[in-house]
């Protein structure tokens, strides 16, 4: 099963993608997590990506597309995968489609998690992310058992550099301009499904399971 998570920054793509990946036993591939891991490890890709991410801008397509196309050809992707944060532009969606067409495959579901902009600004201030495994928490809606320590891997939690309110506003503008057109793109391909992301995390999860029939 090949699933794409769509939705604004903070809509809950990462939260849900992790749960679906666990449930279905397929990898969760988050381009944001890949870039953050590269920044943490001091790679050249990380340095390039950081300059865009800190402003709330998108990393250029040419730095993203090959990376994802390589990743989905790895052995653990044989039975499918969940893409979280990719594609985010029409050229990225076209690159993915071309790579899949070449091997006679297609995306099964593009799930759009809908959350109004006002809710998002409030959510982001309370988000905490694990530097170790990429797990995401919220100080009110999804707290860890021990304050500031990841439940999954025990690493320290951080407030992401791009979660400052001004940067979140830029990310939302970029989302509306460059990523929202993908909703039409995947509607035309008859794989789009929308979920109300303002519901509880459990309800959003069960709605998604119903869509994908898991």
In the bound complex, what is the minimum distance in angstroms from residue 3's beta carbon to ligand AP5?
Answer: 14
Residue 36 annotated as catalytic: no
Residues whose CB is less than 8 angstroms from the CB of residue 184 and which lie 6 or more positions away in sequence, other chains included = none
Residues 148-207 touching ligand AP5, rule: CB under 6 A, are 162, 171, 197, 200-201, 204
With binding defined as CB under 5 A, does residue 132 bind Zn ion? yes
Prior bond of 67 cis (ω within 30°): no
| Active-site residue identified among 48, 55, 160, 169 | 160
DSSP letters spanning 75-138: GGGTT-EEEES---SHHHHHHHHHHHHTTT----EEEEEE--HHHHHHHHHTEEEETTT--EEE
Residue 19 annotated as catalytic: no
Residue 13 annotated as catalytic: yes
| Active-site residue identified among 18, 19, 36, 88 | 88
Residues whose CB is less than 8 angstroms from the CB of residue 110 and which lie 6 or more positions away in sequence, other chains included = 3, 4, 6, 182, 186, 189, 191, 192, 193
With binding defined as CB under 6 A, does residue 123 bind ligand AP5? yes
Question: Tokens for 72?
Answer: 């989905």
**By the criterion CB under 6 A, which residues form the site for ligand AP5?**
7, 9-15, 30-32, 35, 52-53, 56-59, 64, 85-86, 88, 92, 123, 126-127, 136-138, 141-142, 162, 171, 197, 200-201, 204
**By the criterion CB under 5 A, which residues form the site for Zn ion?**
130, 132-133, 135, 150, 152-153, 155
Query: Active-site residues: which are they?
Result: 13, 88, 127, 160, 171
């Amino acid at each position: 099963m090949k699933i794409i998570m769509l939705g604004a920054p903070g809509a809950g793509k990462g939260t849900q993608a992790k749960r679906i990946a666990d449930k279905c036993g397929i990898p969760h591939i988050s381009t944001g997590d890949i870039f953050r891991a590269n920044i943490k490890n001091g790679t050249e890709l990380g340095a390039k990506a950081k300059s865009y991410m800190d402003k709330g801008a998108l990393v250029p397509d040419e730095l993203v597309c090959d990376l994802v196309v390589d990743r989905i050809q790895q052995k653990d992707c044989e039975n499918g995968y969940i893409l979280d944060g990719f594609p985010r532009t029409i050229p990225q969606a076209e690159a993915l489609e071309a790579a899949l067409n070449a091997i006679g495959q297609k995306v099964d579901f593009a799930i759009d998690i809908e959350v109004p902009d006002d809710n998002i600004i409030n959510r982001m201030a309370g988000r905490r992310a694990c530097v170790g495994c990429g797990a995401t928490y919220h100080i009110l809606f999804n707290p860890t058992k021990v304050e500031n320590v990841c439940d999954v891997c025990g690493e320290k939690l951080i407030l992401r550099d791009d979660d400052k309110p001004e940067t979140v506003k830029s990310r939302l503008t970029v989302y509306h301009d460059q990523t929202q057109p993908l909703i039409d793109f995947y509607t035309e391909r008859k794989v789009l499904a929308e979920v109300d992301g303002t519901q509880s995390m459990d309800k959003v999860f069960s709605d998604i399971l119903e869509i994908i029939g898991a």
